[in-house]
Amino acid sequence: MDYLKEVCKEDQTVNNLFNTLGVKVVSVSSEECMLRLPVTPAVLQGAKKVAGGVMAALADEAMAHCVIANLKAGEVTATIEMNIRYLRGIAEGELFAAGRIIRRGRTIITTEAEIKNGEGVLLATAGASFWVGQA
C-alpha cells in the first residue's frame, strides 16, 4: 500500500499523529508492526511519566498498522474496541510498541500489542478489535 510506504519514510507527512508525538516506524509487515517513541517532555504527564493515553495511542497505532498491512484491495479498517494494562511507568528513554494479529475473521481482526522500553522491559500490554469493510 502506498500509505505504508509513505509512513515508513523519515520525513513522512501521511500521519500527523506520528509527527505530533514523534513516533517513527521501525518495521511493518503482515506479521508485526514495530513503532518507536522517544520520551520527551511533550509526552509526560504531571508526575513526569509518559501519559497513559500516549501509551494507549502508541499501542493502538502499532496494532492498526499491522492490520493495514493485511488489508485486501479496497478494504478499510477502524478500531472498534481496545483495552490496555499498564505494568510500569517510564520517565526517559524510548518506548517500543509491537502490534500483531491474533485472528482475522471475515469482518473483525483481533490484535495484541506489547510496549517495552529500550532495555526490553515490558511496560504495558494491549488488545484491540478492528472492523474491516469496503471503502
Assess whether pLDDT exceeds 80 at residue 1: no
**pLDDT bucket at 108, cuts 50 / 70 / 90:** very high
Mean local confidence (pLDDT), 30-54: 97
Residue type, 40: T
Assess whether pLDDT exceeds 90 at residue 75: yes
> Mean pLDDT, the chain, as a whole number?
97
Q: Which of 67, 55, 28, 24 is nearest to 117 (CA)?
A: 55
Q: Which domains does the chain have, with CATH numbers?
A: 2-134 (3.10.129.10)
Mean local confidence (pLDDT), 107-116: 98
CA distance linking residue 112 with residue 82, whole number of Å:
9
Q: Which of 92, 95, 84 is nearest to 117 (CA)?
A: 95
For residue 40, the 8-state DSSP code is -
The grid coordinates listed for 128 are: 484491540
Pick the residue with more confidence: 1 or 72?
72
Helix (H, G, I), strand (E, B) or coil at 76: strand
The owner of cell 469493510 is 133
Say what the pTM is: 0.96
CA distance linking residue 32 with residue 39, whole number of Å:
22
CA distance linking residue 111 with residue 128, whole number of Å:
5
Query: Do the beta carbons of residue 3 and residue 64 sit within 8 Å?
Result: no
Report the length, in residues, of the chain. Answer: 135
pLDDT at 135: 87
For residue 65, the 8-state DSSP code is H
Assess whether pLDDT exceeds 80 at residue 85: yes
